[in-house]
């Protein structure tokens, strides 16, 4: 995701310095005009505004406060953290950043790597009006839909809400597809209707063809995406709200992980219902688009 986002900044002729734990993306971006830096501390020496895109809050904390982190040399750039993480973790990072003199905002993104490459991400910003105004020209380069959700932490809550509804959608067609085929409907006709009819969604358009092609790799794994579930469950507990449909999805999600599919994408939830029904979901095509 970060590679695509950085490329769009370069295409817009934004002066850009980059660093990464892996050399390949840094080398690729340096070949396209970015300045390569050795570590986040060196990056902070050059940049007044830093965008962070790492797997979790653990890596984000290391980038900001680690031995070779942004704060090592006493610099105080503003930070827009596009990492998806637990809402509480974002608040803790923001508090720690404030203590170090850093202006911090959480800004998780949605849209998968192809939208990061195309500059069409949805970006959910949680932070001050001043930092939002400062970052927005660059966010507009990286995303098509940029939403200021409120104070720090609200970006993570907004993404969790979006992703939970997305997960419920995936769980729904994963549950019904084995039954539909076992009852006599043809996979290709099901795909056509679920991607054009009233149940059509991004989730069905993206995942139904991949389920029929038995493609469960190459996207964000279920285990890594579980933090969205934690965010929503904590919010529901905090506000005393019952979420029965969400909890039904969570039961399927957990079952898929317990069956050993946590390293596969969310459409692997279909395997839970395939096992229960004795019906595999498979189309005639060998690959999905």
pLDDT in tens, the chain (289 residues): 999 999 999 999 999 999 999 999 999 999 999 999 999 999 999 999 999 999 999 999 999 999 999 999 998 999 999 999 999 999 999 999 999 999 999 999 998 888 999 999 999 999 999 999 999 999 999 999 999 999 999 999 999 999 999 999 999 999 999 999 999 999 999 999 999 999 999 999 999 999 999 999 988 899 988 988 999 999 999 999 999 999 999 999 999 999 999 999 999 999 999 999 999 999 965 444 4
- HSE-CB at 130 with a 13 A cutoff on CA atoms is 4
Q: In the prediction, which pLDDT does 289 show?
A: 47
């Amino acid at each position: 995701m970060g590679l695509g986002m950085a490329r769009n900044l370069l295409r817009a002729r934004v002066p850009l310095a980059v660093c990464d734990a892996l050399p390949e993306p840094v080398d690729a971006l340096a070949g396209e005009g970015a300045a390569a830096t050795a570590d986040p501390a060196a990056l902070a020496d050059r940049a007044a505004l830093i965008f962070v895109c790492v797997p979790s809050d653990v890596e984000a904390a290391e980038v900001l406060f680690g031995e070779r982190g942004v704060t090592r040399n006493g610099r105080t750039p503003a930070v827009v953290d596009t990492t998806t993480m637990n809402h509480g973790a974002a608040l803790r990072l923001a508090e720690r950043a404030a203590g170090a003199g850093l202006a911090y905002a959480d800004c998780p993104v949605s849209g998968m790597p192809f939208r990061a490459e195309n500059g069409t991400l949805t970006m959910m910003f949680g932070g001050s009006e001043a930092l939002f105004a400062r970052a927005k020209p660059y966010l507009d380069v990286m995303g098509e839909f940029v939403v200021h959700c409120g104070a720090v932490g609200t970006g993570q809550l907004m993404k969790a809400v979006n992703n939970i509804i997305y997960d419920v959608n995936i769980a729904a067609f994963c549950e019904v597809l084995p039954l539909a085929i076992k009852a006599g409907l043809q996979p290709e006709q099901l795909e056509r209707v679920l991607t054009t009819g009233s149940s059509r969604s991004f989730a069905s358009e993206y995942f139904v063809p991949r389920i029929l092609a038995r493609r469960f790799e190459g996207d964000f794994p279920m285990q890594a995406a579980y933090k969205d579930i934690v965010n929503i469950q904590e919010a529901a507990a905090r506000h005393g709200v019952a979420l029965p449909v969400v909890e039904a999805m969570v039961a399927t999600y957990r079952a898929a992980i317990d069956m050993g599919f946590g390293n596969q994408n969310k459409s692997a939830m279909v395997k839970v219902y395939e096992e229960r029904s004795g019906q595999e979901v498979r189309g005639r095509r060998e690959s999905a688009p």
